[in-house]
Amino acid sequence: MTNPGDSDEWWKQYGGEGVSPESGAQSSVPQYPTSEPSGYPSAPQYPQQQPPQQPPPYQQPSQPQYQQQPYQQSPSQPYPQQPNYGYPSGYQPYGGPVVQGTNGLAIGALVASLLGFCTCAVGSIVGIILGVLALNQLKERPQDGRGMALAGIWVGVGGIVSVAIYFVVLLANNST
């Protein structure tokens, strides 16, 4: 900064005010011409285009003759089978095994446990047994119903506990 021209050159080079044409530096502000150059018209001129010619009328190409082979169907399979594409049958390439629906014992466990409130806990006992059996089946088979089996067990336990509390309260009232 000893030379006063050094700081001015940086300012001029990066678009500062005061850039003059004699200094040799270019301004970042574009310079627009004051008048139109003589070689350019005011509006763009496009060449004249000829109107499009009509294409010739469509003619249908001749059809090649192919020999059609008769379809032979095997007597054991009434419909042709789709290829396996390299996967063994029963295998699902995306994800685990296919879910085969809801386990019937799980549904039975929940229904029996709910009926246990009306049958003095007999249905609750059946619901608990069916729920445990359903959970054992669900470990071996890919089925839905785990939540219903657990609900059947817990509702069954709740039914037995509520019936036991009812009889305790009933006996306590009768003994007094």
Summarize pLDDT for 46-59 with one digit per residue, the tens. Answer: 677 777 777 777 77
- Residues 114, 131: Cα–Cα separation, whole Å: 12
Residue 125: DSSP 8-state? H
What pLDDT was estimated at residue 12?
Answer: 62
* Regions of the chain where pLDDT drops below 50: none
Distances from the Cα of 65 to the Cαs of 62, 68, 95, in angstroms? 9, 9, 48
Among residues 94, 105, 112, which one has the least CA distance to residue 140? 105
- Residues 122, 151: Cα–Cα separation, whole Å: 17
Structure pTM? 0.45
- Residues 138, 31: Cα–Cα separation, whole Å: 82
